[in-house]
């Protein structure tokens, strides 16, 4: 990797002008460490362009000099792909414009630095829904969620980010602007460049704006917390809820009791969501276009499941405060692990029908590999995606435990592979998993990805340490 020379830095400063860059270590510092404190990088300069034209000038200059660039949005990525190690850091956070909102097309075009939460708010102001939702939505940006093909809690009904993008504008690695901001639902004109850029983790260019799909606002919504004996019951309940509502299940999130205990112990303003303390919980959200239908459907589904012994407890949120409390214990699952000393993190997916078997098998293997290790599995079980985290035994040697992360991950990921699953369901590969993915991807896949990258970025200046 070529770091920028003093001349290149001077040229970048003059191209972007005052306000378009900073070298102030205090200003840059918060953008060098990622959320879990696993990586702390360094950069000689952070660029903060305010327009696509400024991004194009900066990337063009870096391309001329063969200087590497790391694009960064909200710095909430969980695999370290946004952290620079000597590269130029290009922050998109000042690309803030709402270019258009067109309700008749069910579409809106936002610049890359708009946060996910703001995107949802812009859609709501136009009487529409932008459905992507995740716990980091107050900071994660549109450019970031596209570049990681983020998932979140509503994938079951609306799909991942890849399904929610109609068009993209991006600055390619040579500084040219790709203007693909279309509002079309149909466009069969050969390879789809925007789909290549989605999930590319900043390796094929800098996304500067995107046209996103909007949806009708649902007329009814019901949220429930359910207690179960096993994840096998959860999968049976999911199938019933999907069939009963005709596709009205928006979220179906599984949590283990130990994760609930961490939340109750470490996160202020949280309380037991149920009267009992079951081994597993599911947070279900149903929606419908018909007023009252989601609530009625939830009551019917849970009453039948309770009668048949499929579930052992349930509470339906009676108001927005209760709904928010249910979501809080789900969204804080990850943060609540920190005071317990952190652990080996996994973001895996297997076919939905196999997730309970996977959980049984992986937990047996982990307990054999590291006796006493605590498994705190939670996540988007409705789409087969679990955050399968393994924590140090209480009072154990945390440093020694964390040193076994990669070895422990191999145990978990080898089992994922036998289920024809994925070792990164929604977070991407980044710095964390690029090397490990070589174990599980075919050489055909790896070589094809590398060839595409060479064609688009022959100097490999875009996020060089990430992907193949
Ligand atoms: C508490 C918490 C909960 C989370 N929950 C979920 C979840 O449920 N589902 C999920 O999928 N993810 C989740 N994440 C991960 C994270 O929020 C997503 O990966 C998000 O998409 C990252 O957006 P960002 O703007 O912060 O991107 P960054 O972290 O800044 O960057 C992520 C990657 O995208 C690249 N990139 C960023 N912007 C651009 C751009 N404009 N052009 C080109 N490349 C770019 C970077 O180089 C990097 O490789 C969670 C994270 C946290 C901290």
Longest dimension (CA), the chain: 74
3-state secondary structure 283-325: EEEEEECCCCHHHHHHHHHHHHHHHCCCCCEEEECCCHHHHHH
- Name which residue sits closest to atom 45 of ligand 1, judged by CA: 202
> Residue 286: its pLDDT value, please?
98
- pLDDT per position as a tens digit, 59-100: 999 999 999 999 999 999 999 999 999 999 999 999 999 999
Measured in Å, residue 303 CA sits from the centre of ligand 1 at: 39
> Residue 1: its pLDDT value, please?
59
**Ligand 1 atom nearest to 76, measured from its CA:** 26
3-state secondary structure of 22: strand
Measured in Å, residue 36 CA sits from the centre of ligand 1 at: 13
> Residue 209: its pLDDT value, please?
98
Measured in Å, residue 438 CA sits from the centre of ligand 1 at: 22
Q: Is 413 in the pocket of ligand 1 (CB under 6 A)?
A: no
Handedness of CA 339, 340, 341, 342 (dihedral sign): negative
Q: Is 136 in the pocket of ligand 1 (CB under 6 A)?
A: yes
Q: Count Cβ neighbours within 10 Å for each residue of 87-121 and write b for 16 or more, e otherwise.
A: bbbbbbbbbebeeebeeeebbbbbbbbbbbebbbe
Rounded to two decimals, what is the model's pTM? 0.94
- pLDDT per position as a tens digit, 279-326: 999 999 999 999 999 999 999 999 999 999 999 999 999 999 999 999
Which tokens is 286 given?
Answer: 């149903």
Measured in Å, residue 149 CA sits from the centre of ligand 1 at: 8
Which has the closest alpha carbon to 129: 41, 218, 244, 18? 218
> Residue 37: its pLDDT value, please?
87
- Name which residue sits closest to atom 37 of ligand 1, judged by CA: 144
- Name which residue sits closest to atom 21 of ligand 1, judged by CA: 145
> Residue 170: its pLDDT value, please?
98
Which has the closest alpha carbon to 370: 398, 347, 337? 398
- Name which residue sits closest to atom 32 of ligand 1, judged by CA: 77
Radius of gyration (C-alpha) of the chain in whole angstroms: 23
Q: How many Cα atoms are found within 13 Å in the side-chain-facing hemisphere of 14?
A: 7
**Ligand 1 atom nearest to 208, measured from its CA:** 41
Rounded CA separation 191/259 (Å): 44
> Residue 341: its pLDDT value, please?
86
Which of 147, 255, 267 has the most ligand 1 atoms within 8 A of CB, as the residue to mutate? 147
Q: Is 32 in the pocket of ligand 1 (CB under 6 A)?
A: no
- Name which residue sits closest to atom 50 of ligand 1, judged by CA: 136
Q: Is 88 in the pocket of ligand 1 (CB under 6 A)?
A: no
- Name which residue sits closest to atom 11 of ligand 1, judged by CA: 150
What DSSP state is assigned to residue 191?
A: S
Residues of the chain with pLDDT under 50: none
């Amino acid at each position: 990797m070529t770091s920028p020379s003093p001349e290149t830095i001077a040229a970048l400063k003059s191209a972007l002008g005052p306000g378009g860059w900073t070298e102030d270590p205090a200003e840059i510092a918060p953008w060098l460490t990622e959320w879990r404190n696993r990586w702390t990088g360094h950069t000689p300069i952070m660029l903060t362009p305010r327009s696509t034209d400024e991004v194009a000038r900066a990337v063009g200059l870096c391309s001329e000099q063969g200087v590497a660039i790391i694009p960064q949005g909200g710095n909430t990525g969980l695999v370290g792909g946004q952290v620079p190690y000597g590269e130029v850091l290009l922050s998109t956070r000042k690309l803030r414009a709402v270019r258009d909102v067109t309700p008749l097309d069910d579409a809106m075009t936002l610049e890359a630095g708009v946060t996910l939460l703001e995107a949802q708010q812009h859609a709501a102001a136009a009487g529409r829904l932008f459905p992507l939702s995740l716990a980091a939505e107050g900071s994660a940006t549109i450019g970031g969620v596209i570049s990681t093909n983020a998932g979140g809690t509503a994938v079951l009904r609306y799909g991942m980010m890849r399904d929610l993008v109609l068009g993209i504008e991006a600055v390619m690695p040579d500084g040219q602007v790709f203007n693909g901001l279309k509002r079309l639902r149909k466009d069969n004109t050969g390879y789809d460049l925007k789909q290549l850029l989605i999930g590319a983790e900043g390796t094929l260019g800098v996304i500067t704006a995107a046209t996103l799909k909007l949806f009708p606002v649902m007329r009814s919504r019901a949220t429930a917390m359910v207690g179960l004996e096993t994840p096998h019951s959860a999968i049976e309940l999911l199938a019933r809820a999907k069939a009963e509502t005709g596709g009205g299940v928006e979220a179906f999130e599984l949590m283990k009791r130990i994760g609930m205990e961490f939340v109750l112990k470490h996160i202020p303003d949280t309380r037991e969501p149920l009267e009992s303390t079951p081994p597993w919980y599911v947070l279900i959200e149903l929606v419908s276009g018909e007023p009252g239908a989601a609530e009625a459907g939830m009551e019917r589904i849970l009453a039948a499941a309770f009668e048949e012994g499929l579930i052992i407890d349930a509470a339906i949120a009676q108001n927005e405060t209760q709904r928010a409390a249910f979501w809080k214990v789900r969204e804080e699952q990850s943060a609540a692990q920190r005071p317990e000393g952190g652990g080996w993190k996994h973001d895996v997916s297997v076919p939905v029908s196999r997730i309970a078997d996977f959980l049984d098998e992986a937990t047996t293997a982990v307990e054999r590999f590291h006796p006493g290790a605590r498994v705190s599995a939670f996540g988007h079980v409705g789409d087969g995606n679990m955050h399968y985290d393994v924590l140090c035994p209480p009072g154990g040697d945390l440093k020694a435990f964390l040193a076994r992360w990669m070895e422990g991950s191999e145990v978990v990921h080898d089992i994922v592979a036998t289920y024809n699953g994925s070792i990164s369901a929604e977070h991407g590969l980044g710095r964390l998993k690029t090397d490990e993915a070589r174990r599980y991807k075919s050489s055909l896949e790896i070589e094809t990805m590398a060839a595409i990258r060479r064609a688009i970025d022959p100097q490999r200046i875009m996020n060089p340490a990430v992907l193949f």
